[in-house]
Amino acid sequence: MVRILSIHILDAHELAAKVLQEEISAKDVVSFFLERISKINPALNAFVYTNEASALSQASQVDVRKRQGEKMPLAGVPIAVKDVISVKDYQITCGSKILRGYIAPYDATVVERLKKAGAIIIGITNTDEFAMGSSTENSAYGPTHNPWSCTRVPGGSSGGSAVAVASGLSPVALGTDTGGSVRLPAAFTGVFGLKPTYGAVSRYGLIAYSNSLEQIGVFARSVKDLALVYSVISGADTRDGTTQNFGWDLFSCMGNSIENWKIGIVKETLAEGVDVSVQDALRDCSSYLERLGASVEEVSIKHIPFSLAAYYLIAMSEASSNLARFDGVRYGEHTSFEEEWNVEFSKVRSLFGLEVKRRILLGAYSLSAGYYEMFYEKAARFRSLISEEFKEAFKQFDVLLTPTSPTPPFRLGEKLQDPLMMYLSDIHTVPVNLAGLPALNLPVKIVQHDGELLPVGVQAIAPYGRDDKLFTLASALEKSAFIKKRIVEPWGRIVWTN
């Protein structure tokens, strides 16, 4: 029998194996994690909603299915889900006052697939409101805290999911990545964070922020767990016309060598403003890859510095359109229409937070008559340009590397009053979303920064549709022990490492 006190240090694949071998029941697993969340979450604010009755009911069903001999690759594995993905009978609010009390009536495709594989939705995690932010401070539920330091942000907007995995509140978690919102919090909390190729994972059931940029992604502490969850949720879905099957065998590719690979360091991402500790982490990772048989060279993608401006024009424009539905009539807190319609609409939309209002206004402006060609259309043309530059680079290189974030985790409140500085946190991640490419945060190093131990990540980028290359690279680094798994509890106390 597994010691119930230590099951949070198990990887998801190990936990599923023990449930299937009847060393522990799915119900006991869920009970353990719900209790752990109740003890640790008040200090972290990673979860904003748990449904004990639903989670235990799911677990009981998994135990029955197990006895019936059903194959379930994620049997009994708890999974945390970001508060923008629909989970039936769970409160889903996008971290916003405007959706308070909304109970989702259906499961997103990714949730359906996870449940079919035997996974159990353990709870809903905190997010920047409508996934708009880089720090998980723009939430109606208050900020999420980084377990490495109570004074620092976990990154955003999927900070709640990242913290849940990093602190052992859930073995794996789902987030969303519109411009880096899986990779940045993964870097800030020291876990793997995957942004898939655009179209590899269904967005049905994802409350839209920017349809052409966002993808549902995965957080995990090991490459095998990442592959396990990604294999379950990816693939074509008739309810999302952008999806397709890519046909990878992620588990077999994880055993491949990277000998003779050519790896490119994007030199424009090492410009002024990148912290010395981040540069050192990238340098150490490059050197280690050369020891594993790869060759590493610099590569130029000269228009990358303009990506941030193009990204925010496109993202804000799409956001202003998508959020128009939250008006108190279709969605949002219902209005009585006791006054004129514009007054009532204004009352409802005043419930949006400051950052959401800012993005709606800027998006509406860039789409308005006389400015559409000047701003949005130019950004759309730039998107094609940066995509072509990446294609050219991948004719020479198997994978590209950049810093995930220009700095280690910054302090709570440090950038809230300066939106432009906050947006610069995404400067290395947004080009990937513009081009629809797959990318993965590699949790390569723990550094001493301002007197604290903090995680630093390196971003690996692969060609369109070649997510398997990311798994080969990450697996090579993990197997050679360059990347280590850790669980950290408030504040900065490492309770387990491999």
Domain ranges of the chain: 4-253
**For the chain, percent of residues with pLDDT exceeding 90:** 87
- What distance in Å separates the CA atoms of residue 295 and residue 11, rounded to the nearest whole number? 32
- Residue 492 pLDDT > 50: yes
For residue 23, which of 58, 55, 78, 66 has the smallest C-alpha distance? 66
326 contacts 209 by C-beta, under 8 angstroms: no
How would residue 342 be classed by pLDDT, with cut points 50, 70 and 90? confident
- What distance in Å separates the CA atoms of residue 44 and residue 369, rounded to the nearest whole number? 45
Instruction: Give Cα 138 to chain centroid, integer Å.
Output: 16
Select which of 139, 157, 167, 234 is catalytic: 157
Mean pLDDT of 315-333: 88
Mean pLDDT of 138-162: 97
Q: Would you call 157 a catalytic residue per the annotation?
A: yes
- What distance in Å separates the CA atoms of residue 491 and residue 145, rounded to the nearest whole number? 9
User: Which tens digit of pLDDT belongs to each residue from 394-426?
Assistant: 999 999 999 999 999 999 999 999 998 999 999
Select which of 96, 161, 181, 202 is catalytic: 181
Mean pLDDT of 363-367: 92
Cβ density class 324-353: b for 16+ within 10 Å, e for less: eebbbeebbbebeeeeeeeebbeebbebbb
- What distance in Å separates the CA atoms of residue 435 and residue 183, rounded to the nearest whole number? 16
- What distance in Å separates the CA atoms of residue 483 and residue 122, rounded to the nearest whole number? 27
Instruction: Give Cα 308 to chain centroid, integer Å.
Output: 19
Q: Report the length, in residues, of the chain.
A: 498
For 414, the token pair is 């440090």
Give the CA distances from residue 280 to residues 365, 425, 492, in Å, rounded to whole numbers and listed in that order: 41, 18, 22
The predicted structure's pLDDT at residue 344: 77
- Structure letter (DSSP) for residue 92: -
With tokens 């119900």, the residue in question is 27
With tokens 């999927």, the residue in question is 158
Mean pLDDT of 107-116: 98
66 contacts 20 by C-beta, under 8 angstroms: yes
- Residue 335 pLDDT > 80: no
Mean pLDDT of 38-66: 97
31-45, 231-245, 306-320, 327-341: least confidently modelled range: 327-341
With tokens 């991402």, the residue in question is 269
- Residue 1 pLDDT > 50: no
Give the CA distances from residue 54 to residues 49, 51, 89, 105, 421, in Å, rounded to whole numbers and listed in that order: 12, 5, 8, 14, 41
Give the pairing of strands 486-489 and 452-461: unpaired
Count CA atoms within 13 Å of residue 154 on its CB side: 39
- What distance in Å separates the CA atoms of residue 121 and residue 114, rounded to the nearest whole number? 8
195 contacts 177 by C-beta, under 8 angstroms: yes
Degrees, nearest 5: CA angle 160-165-170? 100
147 contacts 165 by C-beta, under 8 angstroms: no
How would residue 494 be classed by pLDDT, with cut points 50, 70 and 90? confident
User: Which tens digit of pLDDT belongs to each residue from 419-467?
Assistant: 989 999 999 999 999 999 999 999 999 999 999 999 999 999 999 999 9
The CATH code for residues 4-253 is 3.90.1300.10
33 contacts 119 by C-beta, under 8 angstroms: no
- Residue 89 pLDDT > 90: yes
Q: Would you call 82 a catalytic residue per the annotation?
A: yes
Q: What share of residues in the chain are helix, strand, coil (percent, to 5)? A: 40, 20, 40
112: helix, coil or strand? helix
Select which of 18, 66, 82, 415 is catalytic: 82
User: Which tens digit of pLDDT belongs to each residue from 9-32?
Assistant: 999 999 999 999 999 999 999 999
